[in-house]
Amino acid sequence: MKNILRNNYLKLTEPFIDKQIIKVLTGARRVGKTTILHQISNLIKQKDKNANIIFINKEYFEFRHIKNEEDLYLYVKEKTRKNKKNYVFIDEVQEILNFEIALNQLFAKQYDIWCTGSNARMLSGDLATYLSGRYIEFKISSLSYNEFLEFHNLQNNNDTLLKYIRFGGMPYLINITLEDELVYGYLKSIYNTIILKDVIARYNIRDIDFIERLTEYLSDNLGSYVSSKKITDFLKSQHISLSINTVLNYLQYLTNSFFIHKVQRYDIQGKKRFEINDKYYFEDLGLKHAVIPYQANDIGKVFENLVYKHLKNNGYTLYIGKIKNYEIDFVAQKNNITKYFQVAYLLPDEKVIEREFGNLLKINDNYEKTVISADELIKGNFQGIKHMNIKDFLTNIP
């Protein structure tokens, strides 16, 4: 099986080797967290051949006996070696009951601790209670477009972009021929694992049919405003009756599993966030298309998901912008800098050009503004607003 370095993540994590802080890699299942853990442990071995690596993968049968904090603590103590630096790597740590209590004890005893988790609630609840201020999070995503080009040894062209759109960036796909039947068979198994383990089992959900209907609804309404009322109205049309609170909870469960990501609306003039009518984008377009197959007429919304993922991977906090009655696709904020982005499939005529550039021109500040589309003939700036081809955007750091 091929093992290609995820250099972007190694550059982020390497400075924290031997630092007295717990390192937590979070992200959806199968995005490559385990591989990155192994790559970090290999880096440590290169630096110190005598390093003692204690590696626990909760998805492996031989670690089934580690069920709670006591099991975890005793196993690590058993594998500890005196007069050596001891490194503890725990994959899918949320599978261990009360794991945070054991991590707290091991942290106090100067172990260098690295772990992964596939549920966002782990940080907001479990870890935050016991380890506040003693851990750092690294968010791991499926392959970026640049990584997809590298992993699959492909050129940056329209055919490759379409492959990325249809199949997504799950790293293991480099071991599979990129054909629909093979790829979607694999992606469907990931989807089932996420839904069963990280949603249904974790939250003791009994209404499995509703979760499946909900993911189908989100996939079908990619990039559209979503509210609990809209979903409950849709469910009523399907003769399913659920409370608004239940719908909100289920949306949160899917978000916690990193399967989808919520983006709130933001009033650009009033500098405030709205609490209703969010948009949801998928962690990976391949997983989205494993729920509802790719359709060419969805390309505009798919482009939005691509831009969202690229900006998110590069550390931006994202909002859907609103200025009066006009919408800005993304307000991106990082390090006290704001950037604005409009996304369109093509700009075929003056009416579309006026809409996409015109919305950005209504923003009365000097922050950078960009329109992104698939047009091959980019005319450059328009009244100070940049125009970029989607392939160029996805291969550069914004």
Question: What gap in Å lies between CA 213 and CA 131, rounded to an integer?
Answer: 37
- The percent of the chain in helix, strand and coil, each rounded to the nearest 5, is 45, 20, 35
Grade residue 269 by pLDDT with cuts at 50, 70 and 90.
confident
Task: Indicate if 156 and 88 belong to the same structural domain.
Answer: no
Kindly tell me if the per-residue pLDDT of 173 is higher than 60: yes
Write out the DSSP string of 97-116: BTHHHHHHHHHHTT-EEEEE
Task: Indicate if 158 and 131 belong to the same structural domain.
Answer: no
Q: Would you say residue 19 lies in a domain?
A: yes
Kindly tell me if the per-residue pLDDT of 377 is higher than 80: yes
Residue 126 has a pLDDT of: 59
Task: Indicate if 60 and 204 belong to the same structural domain.
Answer: no
Domain boundary among 75, 108, 139: 139
Domain boundary among 92, 107, 139: 139
Question: What gap in Å lies between CA 64 and CA 81, rounded to an integer?
Answer: 23
The mean pLDDT of the chain is 93
For the stretch 207-254, pLDDT in tens is: 888 899 899 999 999 999 998 788 878 878 877 778 888 888 999 999
Task: Indicate if 155 and 218 belong to the same structural domain.
Answer: yes
For the stretch 378-387, pLDDT in tens is: 867 888 999 9
Task: Indicate if 209 and 350 belong to the same structural domain.
Answer: yes
Residue 342 has a pLDDT of: 97
Residue 33 amino acid letter:
K
Task: Indicate if 190 and 229 belong to the same structural domain.
Answer: yes
Tell me how long the chain is: 398
Q: What is the mean pLDDT of residues 81-99?
A: 95
Residue 86 amino acid letter:
N
Q: Would you say residue 243 lies in a domain?
A: yes
Residue 337 has a pLDDT of: 95
Sheet holding 265-267, edge to edge: 272-273, 265-267, 317-323, 326-334, 337-343, 368-373, 386-389
Long-range contacts of 151-157 (CB under 8 A, 24+ apart): 151/2, 151/4, 152/178, 156/391, 156/395, 157/391
Task: Indicate if 376 and 246 belong to the same structural domain.
Answer: yes
| Three-state DSSP class for residue 242 | coil
- Total domains in the chain come to 2
Q: Would you say residue 2 lies in a domain?
A: no
Please tell me what DSSP assigns to residue 176: S
Q: Would you say residue 1 lies in a domain?
A: no
Residue 382 has a pLDDT of: 84
Task: Indicate if 124 and 153 belong to the same structural domain.
Answer: no
Tell me which residue range forms the domain holding 382.
Answer: 145-394
Q: What is the mean pLDDT of residues 198-203?
A: 93
Grade residue 271 by pLDDT with cuts at 50, 70 and 90.
confident
Percent of the chain past pLDDT 90, that is, above it, reads 81
Q: Would you say residue 186 lies in a domain?
A: yes
Nearest partner of 211 among 223, 225, 195, judged by Cα: 195
Grade residue 273 by pLDDT with cuts at 50, 70 and 90.
confident
Nearest partner of 29 among 102, 94, 126, 100, judged by Cα: 94
Q: What is the mean pLDDT of residues 289-305?
A: 96
- What is the torsional sign of CA 28, 32, 35, 36? negative
Q: How far is CA 44 from CA 3, 5, 139, in A?
A: 17, 15, 21
Domain boundary among 95, 119, 139: 139
Please tell me what DSSP assigns to residue 4: -
Residue 63 has a pLDDT of: 97
For the stretch 134-158, pLDDT in tens is: 999 999 999 999 999 999 999 999 9
Task: Indicate if 216 and 340 belong to the same structural domain.
Answer: yes
Task: Indicate if 215 and 335 belong to the same structural domain.
Answer: yes
Q: Would you say residue 83 lies in a domain?
A: yes
Task: Indicate if 82 and 166 belong to the same structural domain.
Answer: no
Residue 124 has a pLDDT of: 66
Q: Tokens 């994590």 correspond to what residue?
A: 13
For the stretch 19-34, pLDDT in tens is: 999 999 999 999 999 9
Nearest partner of 263 among 301, 237, 293, judged by Cα: 301
Q: Would you say residue 86 lies in a domain?
A: yes
Give the CA radius of gyration of the chain. 22
Task: Indicate if 224 and 350 belong to the same structural domain.
Answer: yes
Residue 85 sits in a domain whose CATH number is 3.40.50.300
Residue 194 has a pLDDT of: 96
Percent of the chain past pLDDT 70, that is, above it, reads 98
Q: Which residues contact 289 (CB under 8 A, 6 or more apart)?
A: 166, 167, 168, 184, 187, 219
